[in-house]
Structure 1
């Protein structure tokens, strides 16, 4: 018995030691927010104050020291995110996640981002300040890699930490450029429809600009005045498996002093990006004697894409311009190494890439290149057929100065310096929003735009042989859409159609007018805006369009064909204001019925797979309102019933009944239970959170959430056969800056500042975000030092 007691005692001691060691180890993996650290190459000590939400406020005596420390603190909270982001362009995801990501790696390698990066680096001025600050930032990251704790994700995946280089920064920016592109999902699909069904079907889709919708107006007082669906499927599959968020859309508006209560500019911005954990942005406030910026950083990128100081504020939304074109090529009849041009036959370029696959052998693949770009046939299984299709992407066509542009706008001190940096942005196309303490408000569409021959639709696959469908010229930046201090006293962007560019309507994948219409409606109706009113507006969940759509769909419904409960629902729909609180019943039914209307209208022609791909395009979103208003149309007829021609009324009635039945099956007969909060939820998924046992540790949520797609509080979701609306994208941050109260700006992140699951800042903003709350963007040095919870001092190496 004594021996047993001793054995149990020893076992308990060993267990205690094991738990203690485990606790110490776990604790060692958390970010360091206080104490003192030596950083080689620092010239002078740097103080970092971490506020209540883990935002670093960096005080340094020179810019290089500041950026070196920024790199270190950014890495300790987001190294795993940096690692994934730098891997996308160079096909490195299979090494982390295994063979499921091989097709995604092939897809991104074929885009040529990594090759373009190498060309850029070969011509880079290594002595310029942009490069020196970038290198300082990288030094900080690499110092953390050398001496800091390894994030838990590296243990789970078996990855080794390796140093970061300038190549990684450029590759990360390149991924950002592609994640805006909608052409892969749209152009081949439209070509397919044209080839199979003809021009009449294409004519009824919202492909071209709609003059009836709300456009962004230009104002510058300085001016004088037969492929299959395979390519679409390839892109869809590659992007669905991508373990990183994609840039989707955004809102921003800047209100001039004439329309504000305190006579100062108010700036608002909420970029819409796919939700993931960690969230996209890392907040950092950097202050030196010559530079100050409260900025929002992408993982591994030194210069903030969003930012403000006491002089100016800037933000971005997606321009949505068309910067990718597809071309049919023609092989030489007897020599497969050549392709035809208007000047004769030219040699294909041949590219071979190698992919490392986790727990497997290296995989090599090859593809051809033409003057237009990579030939997509053979890159993925979905792209078959003999007729080659090449992709031309503006990002890889011209000199890459995007990082120079980000440096320029970060360092600008006024509107003139700021605008001088914008022509260096060639891709992705961005709506750049600006406001300052002097009262200026401005919007520029920043992109390298090009003119195509008249009457040529760039939404279809083009003729790559004749030379007659090539770009005619690049537009000068002065011809880009813009509005500087317009007489209506505000500027805005909601990814909608801009007004004419150089005398033409520029092709793009613009989103419908829904958000734009609501933004203009609210801004026009008020001339005494303050921070509180803008914070309410940025959370607005009302659609000006959806009640019109549902009203148009149900106005011909025969009441005698409905039961009592259905008539009650019809009355609720008729009185619906288009809002999406958690308790909304009309909102739930609207989206159920809209899905079935779309399915019953398009799936018979497109088939299940193409219909699924159609649902993922901006074209579909643009199609909903005008399509619902069309009394007569070729798409209404169900081609699977050749002896009968269906009408709009029949499709709508069928869809109404299917929506009703599906909601009954899910929630019962009591329509009061059909609430929006039961179908509309938000969960921030981590790549490793896909493992069921680790889900609760890595993922954040799910939460029932108000809002919807294409309202200002744009919490978007895909339509699919589940008939549930799991939010996939939305405001990646909400920012409000009032220049009459610059030290009390408002912001929020979707989850938290840290990407480290062991940090207390991993999810500490998640419920605030869902509840529509804000935190303060602290700018006052005295207040920061007084209220900050932790101080971390970096010193030069002794």
Structure 2
């Protein structure tokens, strides 16, 4: 039944895309403009769905126009990205942002720029320099009054700034991994309740006994040790009541863990032997925070020696995932551990290291402040990295791979733009830095494969699960060499799929105990469902892949329901809820009552009920913050008599909440009434009600949750979706014009543009639009044709 549903859904997806195609007007608008800095005439064809197809006479002009066009569509977004990353918010927005600027500057790349440039593909420097020049060209047009100033600049009374090429590479705080948050949570949990409490908080895979390093008291780790780290990596807030981060109450660590754990992705690559097309298929849907404007941007660049199409972040040149007409590549996070928190004994401005005291490196920087005097801040660094917390006797610093050359987030993809075969893919994989990825691959020769791509520290005498003393006893011994990370070419199953779950091959195939790549992975639910569906299809079509990307069946929910099968209750509400849950197949559709019951129970109430009987009170706040998975594992290990009161109490608490939210009639408690997508940009808080409404998108009922292939993590306070598929791509390798895609809510960042929200209803309903590649197909779907010439 589930398989039939998937096939039918795949047909519906294709029909949805066709319907969307038919609804859009066929009129093509012609534009012409001179662009200062362009070297030769060029053309941008914006298709009916807002995707720019850039045709240039040379690669430099292609990347230049990508920057110019990114600013045309997303100037406010990319300008804010740069200011946040460089620690320049105060210069435009005022003194409330000084603390955030200081925190961001702690995490800038401060190494040798020659080594940084040399770390990427030879085309990389040209791409970055041309892209920045293109952004500046458009900013110049705005300053000259030739282009409109986006409304958000007016709301914040600010102006866009010019870019330096190095800005793009020096910013590292937008692509951080989050292992350090779990290290802190583990120390605090072990301090409060011992290792057994931490086992309820986070499952370790492969199974590993937790051993605290010698010389570290877990109770010495301050609860607020990550304040600067969180401040540097969180989005920018606006509003008349915004307070300085120096006085604002810190965000609870449980909330930080929940937000960071929500990000994941799906990808798979299908061999021609398993494909209904007779060609490989590659599918990718990275899961990140969703909002307006869209996090990702789809673009196509075509010039002699370069033809790439796919998606990435709008402030970066090229694409992070997509294809080049010969090879296709997709990404998901692989939880290789790339961070460590070091604890120090300090005396003044020096820290103990190998029997002596070593001075911290101090950097003084001046922060420009709009409407006020410049402020000088002091940044401190140990040999391991930026100091994020210090008092009279202790200090804590973070060591991360992204302090190394070649670790600008996602820019390792530059080596994929011109890859022609598996060997080129392997070279790109070996040079990749951050974030740590599962790279899947397919090419027109028929090869497919998977590889872990990450700059991976070697920890000789510990496993990276906890903070460690910074006195020299726990040092990285370099990084894993080329060929030391897992790779699979042309798998026997005819496909390879990843969804952030633990997928490091077991001994003796791979020495994972010795290499200790990582132990903290996503809930395996999405991965289980993806493999279940792909294994059950003798031939896999494009429609099947689209249906699977939007599949709302949760194996995690099926685990939870299995625990309830023997449960009975004399409480009429609990008994009625059990009738819904016991007969449920785990499909978290918008019309499902059982989905509302399960998600409210498992995500919001099960953690408190389990920790009340299994953990000391002080350890309870962090339990259940990342996933119900370890809670279900604990319950599965208990006798029916032991778990019955926990199940009954937690289910009753969920029912009480739902009754308060949705009324007394349980038959109306459908998941769609709770679970919804609504995107409200931060700057909307500064707008009048009419403009704020124009800037906002939704609400729209959406199926799924964090445990379904259609990932849709939600905020516990209002059930609003907070993360999910930022983009969905399904690529027909070799017949590229058959490929399909969807962004959300739209390609443009201008709330007045037709392309600001036009893709949102399609994304929410599981529909797609064509991703054209050949010139003829692109011209057939043209919406706007821009003829661009060099300005005198």
TM range (shorter): 0.7 to 0.9
Which of the residues 355, 378, 388 maps onto 1:366?
A: 378
Which of the residues 597, 603, 610 maps onto 2:606?
A: 597
Which residue number corresponds to residue 419 of structure 1?
426
Listed as ranges, the gaps of 5+ residues in structure 2 are: 1-27, 142-146, 209-219, 239-258
Which of the residues 583, 588, 601 maps onto 1:575?
A: 583
Q: 1:149 to 1:203 in 2, by over 3 A?
A: closer
Alignment deviations for residues 8-41 of structure 1 (CA, whole Å, 9 cap, x no partner): xxxxxxxxxxxxxxxxxxxxxxxx9742122234
Which residue number corresponds to residue 273 of structure 1?
288
Alignment deviations for residues 72-129 of structure 1 (CA, whole Å, 9 cap, x no partner): 1121001111111112222223445555544433332222x2424xx32576469954
Cα drift, residue 648 of structure 1 = 3.5
Which residue number corresponds to residue 157 of structure 1?
156
The 1-side partners of 2:475 and 2:619 are apart by: 29
Q: 1:696 to 1:608 in 2, by over 3 A?
A: farther
Q: 1:673 to 1:556 in 2, by over 3 A?
A: same
Which residue number corresponds to residue 176 of structure 1?
174
Give 1:120-519 correspondences, 5 Å limit.
Answer: 120=113, 124=117, 129-147=123-141, 148-172=147-171, 174-178=172-176, 181-210=177-206, 226-232=220-226, 235-236=229-230, 239=233, 242=236, 248-332=263-347, 336-378=348-390, 386-400=393-407, 405-454=412-461, 456-465=462-471, 467-500=472-505, 502-504=511-513, 505-519=516-530
Alignment deviations for residues 702-727 of structure 1 (CA, whole Å, 9 cap, x no partner): 21111211210001124x3x3x3111
SS of the residue corresponding to residue 230 of structure 1 reads coil
Q: 1:243 to 1:445 in 2, by over 3 A?
A: farther
With 745-754 and 98-107 compared, the bigger mean Cα shift is at 98-107
Which residue number corresponds to residue 632 of structure 2?
625
Q: 1:355 to 1:615 in 2, by over 3 A?
A: farther
SS of the residue corresponding to residue 677 of structure 2 reads strand
8 Å CA contact 2:591–2:671 kept in 1: the answer is yes
Which residue number corresponds to residue 36 of structure 2?
40
Q: 1:240 to 1:266 in 2, by over 3 A?
A: same
SS of the residue corresponding to residue 231 of structure 1 reads coil
Alignment deviations for residues 724-778 of structure 1 (CA, whole Å, 9 cap, x no partner): 3111000011111122632121101111111111211111111111111110011
SS of the residue corresponding to residue 586 of structure 1 reads helix
The 2-side partners of 1:596 and 1:664 are apart by: 15
Cα drift, residue 276 of structure 1 = 2.0
With 126-135 and 514-523 compared, the bigger mean Cα shift is at 126-135
1:653 maps to 2:653: no
Which residue number corresponds to residue 685 of structure 2?
690
8 Å CA contact 1:103–1:238 kept in 2: the answer is no
8 Å CA contact 1:451–1:471 kept in 2: the answer is yes
Which residue number corresponds to residue 662 of structure 1?
657
Which residue number corresponds to residue 749 of structure 1?
743
The 2-side partners of 1:353 and 1:261 are apart by: 59
Listed as ranges, the gaps of 5+ residues in structure 1 are: 1-31, 213-225, 379-383, 634-645
Alignment deviations for residues 525-574 of structure 1 (CA, whole Å, 9 cap, x no partner): 1121111121111110001221222331x345333x222x4323212211
8 Å CA contact 2:64–2:131 kept in 1: the answer is yes
The 2-side partners of 1:403 and 1:662 are apart by: 42
1:725 maps to 2:740: no
SS of the residue corresponding to residue 785 of structure 1 reads helix
8 Å CA contact 2:556–2:629 kept in 1: the answer is no
The 1-side partners of 2:321 and 2:157 are apart by: 34
Which residue number corresponds to residue 65 of structure 2?
69
Give 1:672-683 correspondences, 5 Å limit.
Answer: 672-683=667-678
8 Å CA contact 2:588–2:705 kept in 1: the answer is yes
8 Å CA contact 1:353–1:364 kept in 2: the answer is yes
Q: 1:781 to 1:103 in 2, by over 3 A?
A: same
Which residue number corresponds to residue 642 of structure 1?
none
Which residue number corresponds to residue 80 of structure 2?
84
The 1-side partners of 2:178 and 2:426 are apart by: 27
1:104 maps to 2:115: no
8 Å CA contact 2:324–2:417 kept in 1: the answer is no
Which residue number corresponds to residue 639 of structure 1?
none
The 2-side partners of 1:396 and 1:107 are apart by: 15
SS of the residue corresponding to residue 502 of structure 2 reads coil
Q: 1:674 to 1:237 in 2, by over 3 A?
A: farther
1:544 maps to 2:555: yes
Which residue number corresponds to residue 249 of structure 2?
none
Q: 1:664 to 1:85 in 2, by over 3 A?
A: same
The 2-side partners of 1:606 and 1:303 are apart by: 49
Which residue number corresponds to residue 709 of structure 2?
712
8 Å CA contact 2:174–2:409 kept in 1: the answer is no
With 357-366 and 575-584 compared, the bigger mean Cα shift is at 357-366
Alignment deviations for residues 470-497 of structure 1 (CA, whole Å, 9 cap, x no partner): 2234211201122111111111110111
The count of residues paired between Structure 1 and Structure 2 equals: 718
SS of the residue corresponding to residue 176 of structure 1 reads coil
1:528 maps to 2:539: yes
Cα drift, residue 259 of structure 1 = 0.8
The 1-side partners of 2:419 and 2:652 are apart by: 58
Q: What value does the CA root-mean-square deviation take over the aligned residues?
A: 2.9
The 2-side partners of 1:55 and 1:788 are apart by: 10
8 Å CA contact 1:184–1:235 kept in 2: the answer is no
Cα drift, residue 577 of structure 1 = 0.8
8 Å CA contact 1:190–1:202 kept in 2: the answer is yes
Alignment deviations for residues 213-247 of structure 1 (CA, whole Å, 9 cap, x no partner): xxxxxxxxxxxxx1132124555566555459989
8 Å CA contact 1:329–1:387 kept in 2: the answer is yes
8 Å CA contact 2:205–2:520 kept in 1: the answer is no
Cα drift, residue 323 of structure 1 = 0.9
The 2-side partners of 1:240 and 1:473 are apart by: 30
Cα drift, residue 66 of structure 1 = 1.8
Q: 1:256 to 1:72 in 2, by over 3 A?
A: same
Alignment deviations for residues 423-474 of structure 1 (CA, whole Å, 9 cap, x no partner): 22222211112111111111111111122235x3422111222x33222342
With normalisation by structure 1, the TM-score equals 0.84
Cα drift, residue 781 of structure 1 = 1.4
Q: 1:779 to 1:610 in 2, by over 3 A?
A: farther
The 2-side partners of 1:759 and 1:714 are apart by: 28
